[in-house]
């Protein structure tokens, strides 16, 4: 019996090993710890929304290694444009980053051959198909078609507004629907430089503000009472220039500013007038993008430095943190969805992340020191959250209930899901449940609204009871008063406890 | 002619801030038991304020419950007020004793505590837009308590109003100085303890070798 049993046992064990070899490892082990923030903005372990799928570089593409690439753009027809800075070329690959579609080195400008010198960024106008290249060291932005025929250069503005001493080394470029070209020039602190489609300088766009810190206020005070000469020596308070921007389909421009000293205007959403309308997304001045600095041990924590922003297909705001090598994905209402990446040598981590792009369910991160592109693909959890978020933001609260509940099965700490479920209950006039979930999500404003509904409902359903109780009380007190008045009842001693004995004696 | 129990005195003082304290002084009345009760209530008020406030106004940090700050905000702060006031009153020739200052100050806290409790209660039924009601109640309670406190300190030392106000200001400064000294003392003792401990460790190693 023992032998037979042992044989059977070993067969079962072998079968188990055989089967497990085929099991798909759904949650890939990442090189970093995925996290999120709980309702007190403490970091908390979470599920990965995107996993680092693979990487690609110039060698795997077969076009020669990249050399400090610094800009990347994914066009609407699914081509990736890479500005390979130190190789003076633009490499165009397919969306898989497997094959090179085109390599742009030489351009034809009215029969003349022109080349690039340290191109730092590239942008493809989704409406006209023109390619815009920041030809940094040639101090111009090149507008050309896909064949490399240059249509126009956008060179240093010849205007009173643009001082002669100010250099013009374009670093990033975008184009809006009307064909207006926005160029980030690092030396310009008054916002992006704006050109009309005809190539004329129009002005500056969307400058950052100077944060009112104690130092700035003190400087302002001293400048009031100091002489001209002293003033010249003091520190000028100028705003910081943008480091990256992107435009969404509605024509709103998102900018990021790389700074560890200031806390305002780090991520902005600009309307065509150049006003910051980020507060329309339910975000206030104190909203923190990137890593939330901890209350304690903050010496060891390094504040995020946002270097690039990218708007995803569903309006997700992806921002790239140079300091910690992380990508933060927010939904279009600025709620944190996922955090991924880190600093390191493994797949999914970076040394010097430079640019960020997205296409459907993929994220692309360009590393200018590893000289490669890391491709992130959305996980099942990520798909679920995205589905729920899209439904939620579209106002389909009831439809989003089911996916949010699924999300909670994956990650019970996923704060946004509680808010989503709360909103679904709120939409169904189910105020009690809504309050419970809004509390879990710490949505105080929504909780207040649910409470108002709950209160009204309670009052309405208990109105008769309340009215009866109040009238009974009134009748009782009146009767008692009358009984005391006509000395049918004597005031009990207990009432005397709080009345003045002295007064009654007098 | 004014024959009041201790509880009646409390009520008398709260509703007649100026006359009440004089009567209390005249009758040499005032209960330490009730005063301690009020301070305990102050502690409870701090606790409820921290933990049981309406969620739409304040989300408390539920992960950690630390009683020390609450204890400090009620007992320690109040005792420091009493002692600092007593210490300072000698400079002004005030005639208050620690017990009388304690009783008068504790009685003065009642409107503040009550208004705060009402606010905590209401915070569960009012929505964000109606916060102003809680604010009004809070301001009224605080002003009432402040008035009582001024009157109480004024009576206990038999001062004029300006002398009272300057004494109260000085008391606050003295409280800060006391805090500073306490922290200094604690740090020094800590240093000394570490010093002694390191000598002990050193010696014990030497002896073992």
pLDDT tens string A157-189: 998 888 888 899 999 999 999 999 999 999 998
B29 assigned to some structural domain: yes
In the three-class reduction of DSSP (H, G, I as helix; E, B as strand; rest coil), residue A366 is classed as strand
Specify whether domain A35-378 bears CATH 2.120.10.30. yes
Over residues A94-105, the pLDDT tens digits come to: 999 999 999 999
Contacting residues of B for A447, CB less than 8 Å apart: 55-56
B92 assigned to some structural domain: yes
Over residues B126-148, the pLDDT tens digits come to: 999 999 999 999 999 999 999 99
Q: Is the pLDDT of residue A235 over 50?
A: yes
Q: Does B205 touch chain A (CB under 8 A)?
A: no
pTM over 0.95: no
**Is A441 within 8 Å of A423 (Cβ atoms)?**
no
Residue of B nearest to A458 (CA): B125
Over residues B15-65, the pLDDT tens digits come to: 998 899 999 888 888 899 999 999 999 999 999 999 999 999 998 888 889
pLDDT of residue A220: 79
Task: Kindly report the average pLDDT of chain A as a whole number.
Answer: 87
B62 assigned to some structural domain: yes
Q: Does B123 touch chain A (CB under 8 A)?
A: no
Q: How far is A449 from chain B (nearest CA, A)?
A: 7
Q: Is the pLDDT of residue A24 over 50?
A: no
B19 assigned to some structural domain: yes
Asked if the interface predicted TM-score (ipTM) of this complex is over 0.90, the answer is no
Query: How are beta strands A326-330 and A336-341 bridged, if at all?
Result: antiparallel
Number of domains in chain B: 1
B17 by Cβ neighbours in 10 Å (0-12 / 13-18 / 19+) ranks as buried
Question: Nearest CB to B61: which of A40, A499, A502?
Answer: A40
Question: Nearest CB to A439: which of B2, B55, B63?
Answer: B55
Q: Is the pLDDT of residue A15 over 70?
A: no
**Is A349 within 8 Å of A31 (Cβ atoms)?**
yes
Quick one: what percent of chain A has pLDDT higher than 70? 89
Q: Which residue has the higher pLDDT, A229 or A429?
A: A429
Q: How far apart are the first and last CA of chain B?
A: 83
Mutation to test the B interface, candidates A44, A447, A496, most B Cβ within 10 Å: A447
Strand partners, A124: A131
B185 assigned to some structural domain: no
CA gap A423, B55 in Å, rounded: 17
CA gap A266, A260 in Å, rounded: 10
Domain of B105 in residue numbering reads as 6-179
**Is A180 within 8 Å of A197 (Cβ atoms)?**
yes
- Measure the CA dihedral A167/A171/A174/A175, to 10°: 40
- Which residue do the tokens 């400079």 mark? B91
Out of A89-93, A321-325, B2-6, which region has the weakest mean confidence (pLDDT)?
Answer: B2-6
pLDDT of residue A100: 94
B144 assigned to some structural domain: yes
Residue of B nearest to A456 (CA): B125
Superfamily, domain A400-461:
Tetratricopeptide repeat domain (1.25.40.10)
The domain ranges of chain A are 35-378, 400-461, 463-505
Window 41-100 of A: residues touching B by CB (8 A cutoff) are: 42
Over residues A480-491, the pLDDT tens digits come to: 888 888 877 776
């Amino acid at each position: 019996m023992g032998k037979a049993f042992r044989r059977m046992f070993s067969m079962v064990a072998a079968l188990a090993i055989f089967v497990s070899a085929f099991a798909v490892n759904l949650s890939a082990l990442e090189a970093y710890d995925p996290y999120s923030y709980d309702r007190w903005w403490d970091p908390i372990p979470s599920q990965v929304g995107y996993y680092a799928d693979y990487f690609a570089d110039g060698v795997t593409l077969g076009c020669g290694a990249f050399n400090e690439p610094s800009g990347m753009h994914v066009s609407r027809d699914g081509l990736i444009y890479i500005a390979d800075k130190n190789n003076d070329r633009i490499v165009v690959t397919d969306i898989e980053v497997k094959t090179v579609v085109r390599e742009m080195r030489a351009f034809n400008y009215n029969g003349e051959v022109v080349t690039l010198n340290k191109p730092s960024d590239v942008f493809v106008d989704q409406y006209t198909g023109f390619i815009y290249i920041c030809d940094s060291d040639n101090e111009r932005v090149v507008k050309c078609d896909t064949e490399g025929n240059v249509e126009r250069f956008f060179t240093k503005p010849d205007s009173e507004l643009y001082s002669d001493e100010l250099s013009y080394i374009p670093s990033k470029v975008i184009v809006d629907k009307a064909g207006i070209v926005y160029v980030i020039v690092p030396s310009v602190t008054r916002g992006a430089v704006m050109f009309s489609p005809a190539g004329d300088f129009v002005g500056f766009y969307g400058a950052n503000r100077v944060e009112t810190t104690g130092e700035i206020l003190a400087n302002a005070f001293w400048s009031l009472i100091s002489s001209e000469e002293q003033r010249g020596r003091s520190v000028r308070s100028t705003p910081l220039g943008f480091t990256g921007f992107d435009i969404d389909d509605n024509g709103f421009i998102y900018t990021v500013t790389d700074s560890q000293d200031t806390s305002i205007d780090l991520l902005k959403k600009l309307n065509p007038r150049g006003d910051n309308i980020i507060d329309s997304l339910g975000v206030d001045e104190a909203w923190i993008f990137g890593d939330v600095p901890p209350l304690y041990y903050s010496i060891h924590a390094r504040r995020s430095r946002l270097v690039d922003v990218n708007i995803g297909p569903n309006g997700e705001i992806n921002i790239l943190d140079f300091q910690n090598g992380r990508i933060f994905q927010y939904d279009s209402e600025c709620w944190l969805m996922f955090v991924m990446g880190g600093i390191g040598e493994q797949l999914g981590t970076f040394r010097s992340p430079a640019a960020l792009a997205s296409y459907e369910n993929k994220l692309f991160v360009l590393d200018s020191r590893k000289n490669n592109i890391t491709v992130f693909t959305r996980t099942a959890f990520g798909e679920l959250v995205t589905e729920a978020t899209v439904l939620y933001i579209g106002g389909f609260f009831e439809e989003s209930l089911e996916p949010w509940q699924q999300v909670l099965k994956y990650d019970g700490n996923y704060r946004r899901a509680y808010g989503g479920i709360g909103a679904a209950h709120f939409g169904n006039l189910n105020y009690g449940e809504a309050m419970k979930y809004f509390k879990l999500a710490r949505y105080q404003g929504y909780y207040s609204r649910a409470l108002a509904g709950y209160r009204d409902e309670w009052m309405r359903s208990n109105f008769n009871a309340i009215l009866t109780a109040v009238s009974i009380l009134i009748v009782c007190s009146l009767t008692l008063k009358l009984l005391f008045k006509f000395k049918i009842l004597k005031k009990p001693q207990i009432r005397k406890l709080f009345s003045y004995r002295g007064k009654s004696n007098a | 002619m004014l024959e009041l129990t201790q509880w009646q005195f409390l009520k008398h003082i709260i509703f007649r801030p100026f006359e009440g304290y004089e009567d209390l002084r005249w009758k040499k009345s005032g209960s330490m038991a009730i005063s301690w009760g009020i301070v305990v209530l102050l502690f409870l008020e701090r606790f409820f304020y921290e933990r049981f406030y309406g969620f739409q106004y304040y989300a408390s940090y539920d992960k950690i419950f630390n009683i020390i700050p609450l204890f400090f905000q009620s007992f320690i702060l109040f005792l420091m007020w009493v002692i600092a006031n007593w210490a300072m009153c000698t400079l002004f020739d005030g005639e208050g004793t620690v017990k009388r200052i304690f009783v008068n100050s504790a009685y003065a806290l009642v409107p503040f505590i009550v208004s705060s409790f009402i606010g905590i209660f209401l915070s569960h039924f009012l929505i964000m837009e109606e916060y102003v009601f809680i604010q009004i109640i809070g301001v009224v309670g605080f002003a009432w308590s402040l008035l009582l406190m001024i009157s109480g300190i004024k009576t206990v030392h038999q001062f004029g109003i300006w002398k009272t106000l300057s004494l109260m200001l000085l008391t606050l400064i003295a409280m800060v100085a006391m805090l500073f000294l306490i922290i200094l003392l604690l740090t020094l003792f800590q240093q000394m303890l570490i010093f002694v401990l390191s000598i002990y460790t050193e010696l014990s190693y030497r002896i073992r070798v």
